[in-house]
Structure 1
Amino acid sequence: MSNTVQYDDVRGPWGRVLTRGALVIGALIAIVLVAALAGPRFGLMLAIGLGLGMTLEGLRFGFAGPWRAMILRRDPAGILAQLLSIGIVAIVAIPLLQSHSGELVGAEAPVGLAMIGGAFVFGAAMQLVLGCGSGTLINAGSGNPVGLLTLPFFAIGSFFGAYSLVWWTDLGSLPIIVLRGGQGLAITLALLVAVAAFLLWRAAPGTRRIPGRLIVAALILAALAIGNLLVAGQPWGVVYGLGLWVAKGAVGAGADLSGSAFWSTPGNAARVGDSVLTDYTSLTNFGLIAGAFVIANWRAGGLSARMPTLPARAWVATVIAGLLLGFSSRLAFGCNVGAFFSGISTGSLHGWVWFAAAFAGAWVGVGLRPHLGLEPRT
């Protein structure tokens, strides 16, 4: 999906000024409207989401791409930046969760057969579309046709994965294991350092440094993720909001979700009935899309349309991968953000298991791309 068509900027200097002014004003109006309609905290959550989206798109910080770079070229820079950001969040989040257990919750989940399998499938599928949960939202917001096609199927898959989640977890899971307190933080940081050291050991010559833009992005993302935890009382996540949108649409169309042990629980049923502007994950997801849109239009070339020339089987694979991304991420209790980034940074053991399983899946996904027509065979 590397073939792109970049349209020339025909706006002229004043046109760019007007466009950028409109983008800033539009973003501010959206934040104020959400704050007025739902409350200041929800307006702030949208602002955090916008910051996340602008950082990811503007500084080209991602998850799927860096994993691919390590697999194909032994370039660990992107993953090292991810580990740096996770470590910074952990230094703040793990002690906060220990001291404010009644107010804040971590991204905690059990390790089980479905969780491991879901993470593996997710890792493979994200390499097929070159986007994880946040990456799909960013790609869609920046005008990437593959991202725009993947996003609705990702949401549908998330809804159905959640619908059947309890059945899958009943196949077998360990109790939730969380690393807490000073000892838990020390173990988390030691594991992050160990993974970083291994990546540096395996790195190709000339790739053993993190570019400055990725360091800046890691710091900003860490600050915003901590802000997400403090404002929402929960870590940054993506997948739940996507499934919730489909659940709301299904109920609006007359569907009965009482047959789902997940969607019929009081908390989830209430969210389905409440305004989407009061769901923290939805607001940050909206912000991711809008933030990427702002940056894509801010650039000198304006919004770019990436037009990959792909065979029919590649587009079919994209649709299927989108469904698998949503379904598998629900079984795995999150994507690169909710399980890997937030899971590890809030001390949940499942984040580490997710990382290992998803990276193994990514290796498979990278190998599948040429066979599905998603890139030329070498």
Structure 2
Amino acid sequence: MAVIEAVRSARRPVIERAPAARAGVVAVGVLLAVALGAAVFNAAGWKLTLLYVFGLLLGLALFHSRFGFTSAWRQLATVGQGTALRAHMLMLAVACVLFSVVLGTGTSLSGAPEGNVLPAGVGVALGAFLFGVGMQIGGSCASGTLFAVGSGQTAIIYTLGGFILGSIASAFAANWITTLQKIGPTVSFADTPLGYPGAVLISCAIIGVIVGISVLVQRKRNPPPAGRPPAARGIARVLRGSWPLWAGAIVLAVLNAATLFVSGGPWGITSAFSLWGAKLSGWLGIDISGSAYWRVPEHAAELDASVLADKTSVMDFGIMIGALIASALAGAFILHRNVPWRTALGAVLGGILMGFGARMAGGCNIGAYFSGIASFSLHGWLWGIMAVGGTYAGILLRPAFGLTNPKPSDSIC
């Protein structure tokens, strides 16, 4: 409850009434959702179809709550606004509790569940720093890229393209990336005499410290209020946005735990970009199956199989379609045209840094940061620290690409 109150603590601006829903776009989105769901069921069965539905729900939750990682760190770094960061902490606290139940009981629909526990070392540190820089000049993180593309923000398509290019490049550097990833200790908070209950206590203690620091920083710097997009009133707000950040945080945590229970592994995003890049390259007549990454038998099998049989891909597709439906229901689906060339260049370069950095770090803001911390892995916290460091560097670079940073006089949204 204390974390929820801390998330709510910022001065509340008046939320404007949402515009009319885009009925035609909603209809197209629903048809796409049903058609792709049927295709996934035909290709891979009910379990992957359920995960695809989770992706749709994640897209709705990400859009309606405007749950951001890129903007959260930028707001804290530039003007001291910590509301969004405290929403992260609420999400992580809820996820830790839920993950402890699934991992502690060893119960899932796909055998013994496994969290995302990796070495907290050089690979994570370098990769997360690159990712942090890329987030700020590319305009979004991994989850943000998917829901932004789905909601019509065409500038972010450049970011997605860069993500795929960076993932392709990382496939050729997989051998030395693997070497860097092994340099460092693998630490799980669950490997203590207290087991998962102790891991939850350790994680919540860290979360509490971060919440406290963010509150102190915010009080000292007295930033502008965190604005919210227009929203419908009453029960219609569930489908017409915008949700409070705390609601988005809880929904994301529950869906990540549900993904762990159904699939045996937590939510991730960026491994699909490597697969899409390899598939697209093949369709263009460029065979990269001989690269170091795709010579690994497990990865080679993924490349040979259908994209609709890949868990991460179908969830990513679901997020984009879910965001499309959510933005159309909220009357906010608008295709952005005439993207300035400097912004487009920054989006591509930022995407490349994030695509390469995610592979180096073993995941992105979802797979490494969110799912790593929820899995009680020290590397998740290291990822977050280094991504914040990259955020500061990226903030300095943003003006070169025609991007602005929040100022103390601005209302933040």
1:275 partnered with 2:289: no
In the TM superposition, residue 207 of structure 1 has moved relative to its aligned partner by 7.5
What whole-Å deviation, never above 9, does each CA across 1:186-222 have from its counterpart, x for those lacking one?
A: 1111111111111111114478999961111111111
CA distance in 2, matches of 1:142, 1:300: 10
Range with bigger deviation, 205-214 or 95-104: 205-214
1:191 partnered with 2:206: yes
CA distance in 2, matches of 1:324, 1:309: 20
* TM-score, structure 2 normalization: 0.81
Of 254, 264, 286 in structure 1, the residue corresponding to residue 317 of structure 2 is 286
In the TM superposition, residue 277 of structure 1 has moved relative to its aligned partner by 1.1
Per the alignment, residue 346 of structure 1 pairs with: 375
In the TM superposition, residue 22 of structure 1 has moved relative to its aligned partner by 4.9
Of 72, 76, 86 in structure 1, the residue corresponding to residue 82 of structure 2 is 76
Per the alignment, residue 42 of structure 2 pairs with: 36
Per the alignment, residue 4 of structure 1 pairs with: none
What whole-Å deviation, never above 9, does each CA across 1:201-259 have from its counterpart, x for those lacking one?
A: 11144789999611111111111111111111111101101111112233453515234
Per the alignment, residue 258 of structure 2 pairs with: 227
Of 128, 141, 147 in structure 2, the residue corresponding to residue 138 of structure 1 is 147
In the TM superposition, residue 289 of structure 1 has moved relative to its aligned partner by 1.0
Of 355, 358, 365 in structure 1, the residue corresponding to residue 384 of structure 2 is 355
The answer to whether the Cα contact below 8 Å between 1:129 and 1:146 also exists between their aligned partners in 2 is: no
Per the alignment, residue 89 of structure 1 pairs with: 95
CA distance in 2, matches of 1:271, 1:334: 17
The answer to whether the Cα contact below 8 Å between 1:153 and 1:326 also exists between their aligned partners in 2 is: yes
Describe the shift of the 1:248–1:300 C-alpha distance in structure 2 as closer, same or farther (beyond 3 A). Answer: closer
What whole-Å deviation, never above 9, does each CA across 1:152-183 have from its counterpart, x for those lacking one?
A: 22012123224423312324612322121222
CA distance in 2, matches of 1:308, 1:218: 33
The answer to whether the Cα contact below 8 Å between 1:76 and 1:207 also exists between their aligned partners in 2 is: no
Per the alignment, residue 6 of structure 1 pairs with: none
Describe the shift of the 1:230–1:241 C-alpha distance in structure 2 as closer, same or farther (beyond 3 A). Answer: same
In the TM superposition, residue 135 of structure 1 has moved relative to its aligned partner by 0.8
Describe the shift of the 1:33–1:349 C-alpha distance in structure 2 as closer, same or farther (beyond 3 A). Answer: same
The answer to whether the Cα contact below 8 Å between 1:162 and 1:331 also exists between their aligned partners in 2 is: no
Per the alignment, residue 255 of structure 1 pairs with: 287
CA distance in 1, matches of 2:165, 2:339: 26
Describe the shift of the 1:109–1:218 C-alpha distance in structure 2 as closer, same or farther (beyond 3 A). Answer: same
The code of the aligned residue for 1:315 comes to A
The answer to whether the Cα contact below 8 Å between 1:235 and 1:342 also exists between their aligned partners in 2 is: yes
Percentage identity across paired residues of the two chains: 31
The code of the aligned residue for 1:199 comes to S
CA distance in 2, matches of 1:213, 1:294: 19
CA distance in 1, matches of 2:401, 2:218: 28
The answer to whether the Cα contact below 8 Å between 2:162 and 2:347 also exists between their aligned partners in 1 is: no
CA distance in 2, matches of 1:275, 1:30: 13
Of 319, 334, 350 in structure 2, the residue corresponding to residue 304 of structure 1 is 334
Describe the shift of the 1:75–1:375 C-alpha distance in structure 2 as closer, same or farther (beyond 3 A). Answer: closer
CA distance in 2, matches of 1:292, 1:309: 21
What whole-Å deviation, never above 9, does each CA across 1:17-43 have from its counterpart, x for those lacking one?
A: 565355435423432332233200111
CA distance in 2, matches of 1:122, 1:336: 9
CA distance in 2, matches of 1:136, 1:82: 18
Could you tell me which runs of 5 or more consecutive residues in structure 1 were left unpaired when the two chains were aligned: 1-8
Per the alignment, residue 11 of structure 2 pairs with: none
The answer to whether the Cα contact below 8 Å between 1:80 and 1:210 also exists between their aligned partners in 2 is: no
The answer to whether the Cα contact below 8 Å between 1:112 and 1:169 also exists between their aligned partners in 2 is: no
The answer to whether the Cα contact below 8 Å between 1:77 and 1:208 also exists between their aligned partners in 2 is: no
CA distance in 1, matches of 2:159, 2:311: 22
Helix, strand or coil for the counterpart of 2:115?
coil
Per the alignment, residue 71 of structure 2 pairs with: 65
Per the alignment, residue 105 of structure 1 pairs with: 114
CA distance in 2, matches of 1:293, 1:145: 12
Describe the shift of the 1:40–1:188 C-alpha distance in structure 2 as closer, same or farther (beyond 3 A). Answer: same
* TM-score, structure 1 normalization: 0.88
CA distance in 2, matches of 1:186, 1:210: 33
What whole-Å deviation, never above 9, does each CA across 1:37-90 have from its counterpart, x for those lacking one?
A: 320011111100011011111221111111111112211111111111111111
Describe the shift of the 1:376–1:335 C-alpha distance in structure 2 as closer, same or farther (beyond 3 A). Answer: closer
The answer to whether the Cα contact below 8 Å between 2:259 and 2:266 also exists between their aligned partners in 1 is: yes
Matched residue count: 364
